[in-house]
Amino acid sequence: MEAVYFKFILSLGLVLIFARIFGELSERYFKQPAVLGELVAGIIISPFLLGGLIHDPIILNFATVHNPFGLQGDFDIMYIIANIAVVILLFQAGVETDIRSFLKQAPTGFAVAFGGVVLPFVGGYFVTRALCPDVGIGGWLFMGAVLTATSIGVTVRILMDMGRLNTPEGTTILVAAVVDDIIGLIILSIVIGLSETGEFEILEAVKIGAIGFAVWFSLLLIGIKLNKYISRFLLNPFKSSGTAPIVALIIGFLVAYLVTLVDLHPVVGAYVAGLIFSACQEKEEIIEKGRPIMLFAAPFFFAYLGMMVDLRLFGAPGAAVLAVLLIVVAMVGKLIGCYIPARFAGKLSHNSGMIVGVGMVPRAEVGLIVAAAGYIAGAISLGLYGAAVAVCVVTTLVTPAMLKPFFKRQLAQVSEPVSGDSNSSNSA
């Protein structure tokens, strides 16, 4: 009676328990955010290390099915569960966001997003061009695109764990992450167009970006203007059974899918759905019931990010120098590109500016998706792909440790006004 799903139950349990143990060790003995421990746990138990020793297609492995439905790409069941987990995380972040702080920081967030795109893109393009002149413009552009895309998960998790979501720098990062996703979409569409047809389809790209913006802002507006009706017609019917918060989360799933129809990332949809409910009067109840679901699910996403790291990819000859240079460009470019607008457009302090800059550094799965798109399109080689993976891994791993001292300094100074959640740190 050995059933395949038994092994999935085991795998899920193992990933989660390792994530939790390493997360706890990370906090307690290394004074680092739990998310760092979860990422490291993932690397250790990955199919490329511990999982590889088990020789089972499912247990601590990806259970990858190649092209089962005639669709492009592989079909990785653990990846699906991880992505469901990050949707839950970003929905919860949305509900916990103070929508007023979010709107207040919107202009700064826009400036930060644009600043954080320019330097890494230009840097990635020229570094690749200098070191790999034979790759061609398609490859150079793709590597630029890999370097632009911020993955918000790690930073949001740290902001939530430390109760810093509703600080000016927290909401600036959140606005910037949303805008960054839309800019990334525009860039990717231009880059794919260029590498496929050789033409610079700027109008098409701007159209895609404009639609993305329009959809996202319409959803935000719905939350701001129509939250009374959302409470009355969507949540109220489920109040007597106590499932209104669950219904809110389910709507988060549906919105996460809806935004993918205009090519936005599902987490951007989940986040805006959360924002909509953060404007509703049921906010507190949704936060309270959503926290345990998020605490249960989110570590799976971060451990999974670690599990995707094949350390051997970094050993490819020639890739090392390129990888190191790209990592430097990715980090310094994003940091400076975000710090300057945060400081001067947003009038944030040096410390807050550094939090915004460092918080935008992780590329994680978003960078990997862009790199994979380039690899599948034939625009970048396996060596370049390895370097891109290195960028995504390193930028993600260093962020928790880099963020921590700035938060610590800020908490010691208590120089910034904190609206709301500073005491809710991780205690759910």
Q: Is 324 in the site for a copy of itself (CB under 8 A)?
A: no
Q: Is 307 in the site for a copy of itself (CB under 8 A)?
A: no
Amino acid at 131: L
* Number of chain positions touching a copy of itself (CB under 8 A): 68
337-350 b/e with 16+ CB inside 10 Å = b? bbbbbbbebbebbe
Helix or strand (DSSP H, E) at 123: helix 106-131
Which of 35, 43, 45, 87 touches a copy of itself (CB under 8 A)? 87
Contact 234, 247 (CB under 8 A): yes
Q: Is 308 in the site for a copy of itself (CB under 8 A)?
A: no
Q: Is 320 in the site for a copy of itself (CB under 8 A)?
A: no
| CB closer to a copy of itself out of 413 and 425 | 425
The distance of closest approach from Cβ of residue 349 to a copy of itself in the complex, given in angstroms and rounded to an integer, is 29
Helix, strand and coil percent figures for the chain, each rounded to 5: 75, 0, 20
In residues, how long is the chain? 428
> Which listed range, 5-13, 164-172, 220-228, 346-354, lies at the site for a copy of itself (CB under 8 A)?
5-13
Q: Is 318 in the site for a copy of itself (CB under 8 A)?
A: no
Site string for a copy of itself, 378-397 (x = CB under 8 A): --------------------
Helix or strand (DSSP H, E) at 229: helix 202-229
What is the torsion angle, in degrees rounded to the nearest 10, for the CA atoms of residue 114, residue 120, residue 126 and residue 130? 180
Which of 100, 129, 289, 409 touches a copy of itself (CB under 8 A)? 289
For residues 29-48, which are near a copy of itself according to CB under 8 A? 34
- Cα angle vertex 354, ends 351, 356, to 5°? 115
The distance of closest approach from Cβ of residue 27 to a copy of itself in the complex, given in angstroms and rounded to an integer, is 6
Q: What residues contact residue 309 under an 8 Å CB cut-off, 6+ apart?
A: 42, 43, 46, 48, 389, 393
> Which listed range, 113-121, 234-242, 276-284, 313-321, lies at the site for a copy of itself (CB under 8 A)?
234-242
Q: Is 323 in the site for a copy of itself (CB under 8 A)?
A: no
What's the rounded Cα separation, in Å, for the pair 417 and 250? 33
Return the sign of the alpha-carbon dihedral for residues 305, 308, 310, 313.
negative
How far is C-alpha 270 from the geometric centre of its chain's CA atoms? 12
Q: What residues contact residue 17 under an 8 Å CB cut-off, 6+ apart?
A: none
Neighbours of 198 (CB within 10 A): 9
- Cα angle vertex 148, ends 347, 133, to 5°? 135
For residues 153-212, which are near a copy of itself according to CB under 8 A? 188
The distance of closest approach from Cβ of residue 42 to a copy of itself in the complex, given in angstroms and rounded to an integer, is 15
Q: Whole-angstrom distance between the N-terminal and C-terminal Cα of the chain?
A: 39
Q: Is 55 in the site for a copy of itself (CB under 8 A)?
A: no
Which of 52, 73, 315, 405 touches a copy of itself (CB under 8 A)? 73
Q: Is 237 in the site for a copy of itself (CB under 8 A)?
A: yes
Q: Is 373 in the site for a copy of itself (CB under 8 A)?
A: yes
The distance of closest approach from Cβ of residue 63 to a copy of itself in the complex, given in angstroms and rounded to an integer, is 7
182-192 b/e with 16+ CB inside 10 Å = b? bbbbbbbbbbb
Q: Is 411 in the site for a copy of itself (CB under 8 A)?
A: no
| CB closer to a copy of itself out of 197 and 417 | 197
Which of 16, 122, 211, 226 touches a copy of itself (CB under 8 A)? 16
Which of 49, 114, 122, 263 touches a copy of itself (CB under 8 A)? 263
The footprint of a copy of itself (CB under 8 A) covers 1-10, 12-14, 16-17, 20, 23-24, 27-28, 34, 57-58, 63, 65, 68-69, 71, 73, 75, 77, 79-81, 83-84, 87, 188, 237-238, 240-243, 245-247, 249-251, 253-254, 256-257, 260, 263, 266, 289-290, 292-293, 295-296, 369, 373, 426-428
